[in-house]
A and B are shown apart, each in its own frame.
Chain A
Amino acid sequence: DVKVTQSSRYLVKRTGEKVFLECVQDMDHENMFWYRQDPGLGLRLIYFSYDVKMKEKGDIPEGYSVSREKKERFSLILESASTNQTSMYLCASSLSGSERAFFGQGTRLTVV
């Protein structure tokens, strides 16, 4: 089965820190996604990538950037963490648009 691995399950960072969230998938998927999940707001798309070095803004990209230097790895970067970025972050990958997405277990980030 496809495996999407996020580097941390829980993370606590200080305001103003630069934060890196890493995601690796093992099935040669073209598409990778970063979401944040907050109660009552569902999954909101931050960024997605459809190929190496290609990225597209999602619905809430402000305060975030991404990097995809290798096909299997998609990194989310919080340039200067703020308390309103405290959330559950989910990474996902899919082979193509018509195929299902596979999700990592999530990283619960707390910014203090």
Chain B
Amino acid sequence: AQSVTQPDIHITVSEGASLELRCNYSYGATPYLFWYVQSPGQGLQLLLKYFSGDTLVQGIKGFEAEFKRSQSSFNLRKPSVHWSDAAEYFCAVTGTASKLTFGTGTRLQVTL
């Protein structure tokens, strides 16, 4: 069965510091991978996606993620965090069968 693990429930970083949010997936074939962000009281917004090609994908708001098949990972990174990045981040996996599975999320707190 497909699944997503986000091992960090809560992360706190200082504004201007770098960020890495971890995501590990389980899927039997080539996955399609996504990162979404949910700000308080807001809907889910897509940050970036991977479905083939270059394993380093760029997204909105300066985020990027790297697909590592050997590690079954799709970690999200940002070189310099802004206070407005405080939100909850969700990693998701799907494939040709269309079932879209999310992780439990990582809540990011940014200190000034």
Residues of chain A at the chain B interface (Cβ within 8 Å): 30-31, 33, 35, 40-45, 48, 50, 56, 58-59, 90, 92, 94, 96-98, 100-101, 103-106
Report whether A56 and B104 are in contact in the complex, using a CB–CB cutoff of 8 Å. Answer: no
| Chain B residues within 8 Å of chain A by Cβ, number | 23
Contact between B96 and A40 (Cβ–Cβ < 8 Å)?
no
Query: B93: nearest residue on chain A (CB-CB)?
Result: A97
B74 within 8 A of A: no
Contact partner, B32, options A30, A50, A98, Cβ 8 Å:
A98
Q: What is the 8 Å Cβ interface bit string for chain B, positions 74-110, against chain A (1 contact, 0 not)?
A: 0000000000000000101011111111111100000
* Beta-carbon contact of B34 and A42 below 8 Å: no
Chain B residues with CB under 8 A of A33: 100
The CA-CA distance from A104 to B42 in the complex, in Å, is 10
Q: How far is the CA of A13 from the CA of B97 in the complex (A)?
A: 34
Q: Are A43 and B99 in contact (CB under 8 A)?
A: no
With an 8 A cutoff between CB atoms, is B44 at the interface? Answer: yes
Chain A residues lying within 8 Å of B32, measured Cβ to Cβ, are 97-98
From residue B13, how far is it (CB to closest CB) to chain A in Å?
20
A97 near B94 (CB under 8 angstroms)? yes
